[in-house]
Amino acid sequence: MPAARDSLLDAAYAALEVRPWAGVRMVDVAAAAGVSRQTLYNEFGSKQGLARALVRRETEGYLAGVERILSRPAGGVPAEDGEAAAGAGGPAAVPEEAPARLAAAADWTLRTAKANPLVRAVLTGCWNERLPSPADQSLPPPVPGPRTGFPMAPPPVEAPLPGPSELVGRFSDRAVAALEADWPKEELTELGSACTAAVRLTLSCVVAPADPEEVGRLVRGAFAGLPRHPAGR
């Protein structure tokens, strides 16, 4: 039930905005979404499953925004991303200008982390008392067998949620994929290193917030030693 699932996740996020996760009740989430509590349990299995799905959705939404900005078409960025590009250092740059595109993605990251506590927690690995605890997002333990008492394999579940290190890799991979067409093959290693450095600088500014223009300068600095390569070379 995709529609019910989205409504339940929306309701859970809205509840988290006004009370700590420990105070969020499944019955209230179901009521806010307009479905039965049984539907909620059928969809997520438990409050732990709901927390895991909510964190995953917010994380994937953040990464989709990163990819959208990095892959924007020639001549500018989509309207909803214009603020990010402007905040990262002025008007939108042409797509082949790698530092400007990474700066725009950095600005998106900082703005999203500031507005969304779940994204901030995933990016930094710091979970405060208002949020689901890291244990709420771990995979369920093996279930004791009915006769032998030995652990049985748990039912199939989704992959573990990404942590800060994995997000650095996924962000960097998206950046390289968006930029590599404009770079000679012999310089792709240097491009990858510059993208990783830019991403790590971005995440450090999530932990210790900095002025957007300063963040843009830091990210651009990661590319200072690389030559510029126009599209279609």
Q: How high is the pLDDT of residue 197?
A: 94
User: Is pLDDT above 50 for 79?
Assistant: no
Q: pLDDT tens, 35-71? A: 999 999 999 999 999 999 999 999 999 999 999 999 8
Nearest-Å Rg of the Cα atoms of the chain is: 21
Q: How large is the average pLDDT for residues 68-87?
A: 54
Q: How large is the average pLDDT for residues 173-186?
A: 87
Rounded alpha-carbon distances, angstroms, from residue 219 to 136, 222, 223: 34, 5, 8
pTM given for the model: 0.78
Average pLDDT, rounded, for the chain = 81
Gap between the Cα atoms of 152 and 150, Å rounded: 6
